[in-house]
Amino acid sequence: MVAVKTLKDGRESREILLAFARSIKERDLVTYEHSRRVAVYAYRLASKLGWEHGQARDLALAALVHDLGKTWIANEILHKSAALSAEERRKMQRHPVIGARILIGCDVDPFYVETVLYHHERWDGQGYPSGLRGEAIPLSARILTVADVYDVLTSQRPYKEPFSSEMARERIGRDAGTSFDPTVVAAFVELLDTTPNFLLPCQPADLDQLAEITLLQLP
């Protein structure tokens, strides 16, 4: 397993990230609710992979703002029900870079920046924005990618109906070694198979309650 360092003196960074999460909630409730669920899935998956609570919490906080860059994308692109044009897809694929630049401007810990920046990279090197391959992709981003795609698959979107948890499990398992780190996928599949009612409901939740219960149980 790749070594992971628990962030020290990160309270200020965490407060900044939660402030951004609140701004996402105000801007686009759908994106916020997606990020909330991804944060919980990423926390569970990191814990399954042996990360300590503080490490998994830091990843969950990064997941809460992983789509921060989408707040700068026009609604007609974000909520389009038809296929995106090549130009619209190019604009959408800028969101990890936009989000990372916003975080850099706020001097948050680089862990959060790289997790947000690389969460659309693929194990086979065909992702974006940098085309990183395999273990060159930070482990935090590899975990987040699986959690992110699982929620996208199991959620209602303007362009698709939701998958069942079983269908999403099959799709993610099929893409191990291409889109996803096979080790991360194996842990996620085991987590799905051993956790009753793993799928979170797609309903509004209180951010402060989530922060208190799931993310910010600080020592």
| Positions marked catalytic | 70
Shortest CA distance to 6 belongs to which of 58, 41, 79? Answer: 58
CA distance 127 to 218: 34
User: Is residue 170 exposed (0-12), middle (13-18) or buried (19+ Cβ within 10 Å)?
Assistant: middle
**DSSP states along 82-147:** SPPPHHHHHHHTTHHHHHHHHHHHTT--HHHHHHHHTTT--TTS--SSS---GGGS-HHHHHHHHH
